Structure 1
Amino acid sequence: MTGAAMSLTAAASGFVVFLLSVSVVQAQDGWGVTYTATDICAIKGSTVNISCTYTYPSNVRVQETFWFTKGTNRGPVDLKTQSEYSGRVQHQWEDKTCTLTIRDLRETDSAQYKFRFITNQQSGRYTGSPGVTLTVTSSSEDPGLQVQVIKPSPVLYPSWAELTCHSCFLPGRPSYIWYKNGLKIKETPTLDQYFDSPDSYSCAVKGHEGFPSPSVCVKGQSCNRVTYTDRSICAVKGSSVDISCTYNSHDKDIQSKFWFRRQHNWRTRSQPVDLSEDSQFAGRVQVLDPETGRSTLRITDLRETDSAQYHFTFKTPGFEWRSSLPGTTLTVTALQVQVTRIRRVHQSSTEAELKCHSSCSPAGHPSLVWFNNGQEVGQGPNPYRGLIYDGDNIYCAFKGHEKYHSASVYPPKLLSVSVSPSAEIVEGSSVTLTCSSDANPAAKYTWYKKNGNPSLQPASKQFNFSSIQSSDSGEYYCTAENDLGGRTSGSIFINVTYPPKLLSVSVSPSAEIVEGSSLTLTCSSDANPAANFTWYKENQTLIHGPEGTYQFTSISSEDRGTYYCRSENQLGQSNSSSVSIDVQYGPKLLSVSVSPSAEIVEGSPVTLTCSSDANPAANYTWYKENQTLLHGPEGTYQFSSIRSEDSGTYYCRSENQYGQINSEPLLVNVQYGPKLLSVSVSPSAEIVEGSSVTLTCSSDANPAANYTWYKENEESPKASGQIFTITDIRPEHRGKYYCEAQNTRGRHNTTSHLTVVADPLKLPVALTVPAVFLAFMLLPAWLWIRRRRSLDQQCEAEGGPDNSAQVDQLHYASVQFTRNQEDHIYANVSPAQHQADKQEGVIYSTVLSRAGSDPRTRRPAAVEDPSSLYSSVNKRC
């Protein structure tokens, strides 16, 4: 059978939440009770209707019906007879339908309700079971949770159980948080595990941890737990309150127990403070233990600062109850009277409706009592209606707590007016009129001037003249009004004397002010007696006297600023408005800077900055050796990646329409590593054994480079310095030489190849004999050539054609040392080639120059540098 929604009526104090539930039918042989819903949730303070239908045989007559929650030895007890439901329960039945209505629901009303009917037959009594479970929560956020314990196999596994968190109206699948002995342990839908007898468990919906379920014991009923009688209590300021709980300890040996306020975090090392020892509650706290397992905290003379959450804890030799679950929340309220409706009847009386208000309703909803000037004027529900006259003081209180009544409300009284300053009031000064009264609610004020404006400044306690004028002289009064009445003050007279006024200043000339020109400031006012004048520059006194002028014969840029003057006589003084003097001038205080200010390295960004003092702002031009680089309002010139060519002298020019000025020169010195490395050989003629040779290394570098010479296949350097000289050339001097140039910004090297030619006069003996023989054999030919050359020279001297290029030439053999170091005795003897172009026979000794080779690398270069240098070496006879 499909269930229907229960009919729930919301009370004035709250909103009801209810659950659609499956109805339950019980019937036996025509006897039965059907409940419309088995679970109902409602909010504290609201009204709930619990309904059912019932059946019985047709030959039976019903004599009595009622609802109950508990029974006695004599059977179930009708709710209408129980004191806790007095005045709140109504039972209706008609045509086999039954409805139980409970108003002003309390959390203690949470229970299981059953319907019972009694017939005229001796055994004709019937109760509908299991009934309807009602859960009353303190707010719409309270899910009304219960922990359900399921033991799948209590015989085989008595300590194993499954705990589920049950709610009567939570939709969907909420997340649950579980607590063990009051402390949070995990977040899970259910707990399925072994349980110990001392432990209690509770659950809460995530996001609604302030509304946990009651703690339950899984094994037995003697587990450790604390259950608070009330989740929240509201009490009136000055009254007393009892906060109660029941507790149980698995270990009966309780060493200590006390109440405390939630001001400490259990996770920290700080311990809760026993309220009996808290100085804030000295003489106001009492702990009552009416019976074992129950404790009551009584607080008297309640204060609004007592509003807090209160907890109970106990300690045994092996256990201490530490709860992160909520305890009992106490709210201490002070009554207030609110004016909800007014109607002015007469100037001295007002018809009003008053409501006695508090932030919460105390338990029991005591009746209200109204008082006027200390005399009781009425009892009963809100609001209070009546006429209120001047002099009335009305307040309210809860019956039985008249000592702690609300603050009084009353119309304005003790109205007074004052003026400040109370001495002579001088025109132009600041004056304040004040109207004050005693009123609750606070009064609103309106100022009036007789024979003038009807209203100067409504709803204001004070009226201010920031600069009062002679025309403001006159008679003033005020009125004070609140919702309960009004009152008019007496008059106060203001007489304003005649100090200087109509103060004005002027500047001559009024056009642009240029540095070095003359300028006059003039101050004038209307005053009687005549005023003296004082000129100021930013509160610095410049001149004082009867004349109101201040002159600059040659104004300077330092004279820029704000000026004003003061006119004063014995009746008062007045300050003028400010005038701004802006002096225009050409550029000065020119300065230049370079960033970075340290060494400037090629490739780095560099910024040149030029600044000056000028009005109007100057334009700047940067120059390098009189070459214009940049012109514009910005005084910076930037190198994104400076080069060595950018080294030089720079300066800037600052100019506006009033002049120009050049800066001091700024030297930019760009540092860079060695480059353009080259080697020269001297003499450049043939290098003959026994002679000397000078190698010179040069490069472009800043700072200047240091030079080091190396020979191939040798570890240590041969020499340092730009020039390397070898005297007494020997065969072992031949080979590759490296020149390395280095400074703080880098290094670079180049390679030179040196070839040494042997002196024929020093040829070895093995070579001498064949050479002499060969020379002897060639002597006739040589003589012939010699003779032929002589004839040619004669022909040339006689004016014949220039046949010098055709003269037969003597070719010398080129004698060179081989590269093989072991072959010291032999030399390669080869005839000189006859040049096709008929030039003079020359043997070349090659000096190779290779840039970039590492002087410490012993491997010869695979390919010769196309920039190789050649030294012409003439063969000696």
Structure 2
Amino acid sequence: MDSAAVLLLLTVTARTLLHVLGTESVTALYGETIVVPCNDGAPAPEDLMFVKWKYEKDDGTPGDLLIQQARSSEATVQATDQYAPRVSINHKLSLRITQASLRDQKTFTCMVVSDSNLMEYPVTVSVRKVPSSVQIMDRSAALQKDRATVVGTCVAADANPAATITWKKNGKPLVADGKTVLITPSMKLDPASGLSTTSSTLQYAASKEDNVSVFSCMSTHQLANQEAELEPFAIHYPSEKVRLQVLSKVPVVEGDNVTLKCHADGNPPPSSFVFHMKGQKALVNNSDTYTLTSISREAGGEYKCSLADNEKMESSQSIIVSYLDLRLTPSGTVRKAIGDSLLVKVEQNASGEAQVSWIKNGQKVKLPEFTRLTYADAGVYVCELSMPGLTRRHSFELIVEGKPEITGLNKHRPDGASYKVLTCEATGVPEPSFHWSVNSTNEESSYINGKATHKISVIPKLNLTVTCSVSNRLGDDTLTINVSSVFKEEKKETGSKEESEDQSKLIVGGVAGLLIAAAVVGLVYWLYMKNSRQGSWKTGEKEVGTSEEGKKLEENHPTV
């Protein structure tokens, strides 16, 4: 303080009475500007001489900050320490301190000097700071069932006063019980800034249901509350049950690949299992499946799986292998003669009840019985044996053979045609070949189920006798038919009425002449017989007659 100010202060003190009012308080925010009002912001007295701000140092001694004369618009900074660049006064005589820190938590006094009074207004400053961050650190990857595991550490950093931390599960506060819930709080003070960092570590013994639980921590402070939240945890627990599954289709058929899957309810799931297969064991690492390739009927039975580190914890399943055997007699291609018999035999061996069905040439039929084979019996026969999930098929082709036999030979002249159609029908296997004794045109043939038909067209100019011949490697057959000339038929059909009448007359005359001739012959024959009996002539031959008649003839006709 300069000598003039000291002199002025002494003069005022000698003339006035010092009044110190009760201490007020101001709360400021860390890092912001502190505004300390003088006399709670009341107007300055009219006879104001000057205003002075001072404070109490850490060692208890007073320290001057600044002074402003009533007649001056600017204050004189008296501080020489860290307040020198930070203090100022506003038009209301309030003290302004920039960049508030915890070191500013002091009592600042406004001294108002007038002609009649000297008043002091002490103000206590408190600096508050909200935590710079609230976060959960050291989060565990998973929680252990029924065993206290660290959930995480909640940290509320750099606050004043220190924040209070509360743990919650699904929005409800957790209370430490020393068994399921363990909470360990701590606080650290920064010696440089004076700020406090509060920490709280939560340990929790989880249940399986906690895999959907949400843990959070709440930071409670005078100025604001903040919350940090964790995603749900995986809950780890040992396996309590083991289950064996058969993943293959049902029923299991001989020759299938069968996959066994061992499932344990632990979390994380076990990575190694032991599969027990009819007295044998197989250890499988980093997998929970085992495949039986091309399973046989003898492989049916009970299968087990267990944990690799605890074979007493096991599960079992029975596997039934379905099988089906079919043997058909005959098989392949069977050649039989028509009229023969054929025995069909089916043998089966199955793990269950099987159904037998027959198919001939794509159509379902009954069990074939061949006591006397016909051509109609020929075909491809399929025997099908089936049960759920399994089918077997075997087949044979039956060929019924026989030498050809002609069953029909006929002729036909279509209306208005100038030719005749000859049709020869025959049976026989192999297919017979046809041969005609005449030249022909427009040949047509068909062969179905041992029945052959062959048609030809002919134009007979004369009456003909036509032969149809059929043959295969087993024999042959022949049949003939008379075929009249188409020209004679046309002439008869196209002649005039007179010609027809003349022909009729000729026919009648011819018949009459024949009758007359017959009568003459009869008369001559009668006379001949009569004369012979009277011995009118003698022949050199011996006549047939009685001995008496012979004698009479000799007597009446002596030898010439």
TM-score after normalising by structure 1: 0.25
TM-score after normalising by structure 2: 0.36
Which structure's relative contact order is higher, taking Cα pairs within 8 Å and 6+ residues apart?
2
Q: Kindly name which structure, 1 or 2, has the bigger radius of gyration based on alpha carbons.
A: 2
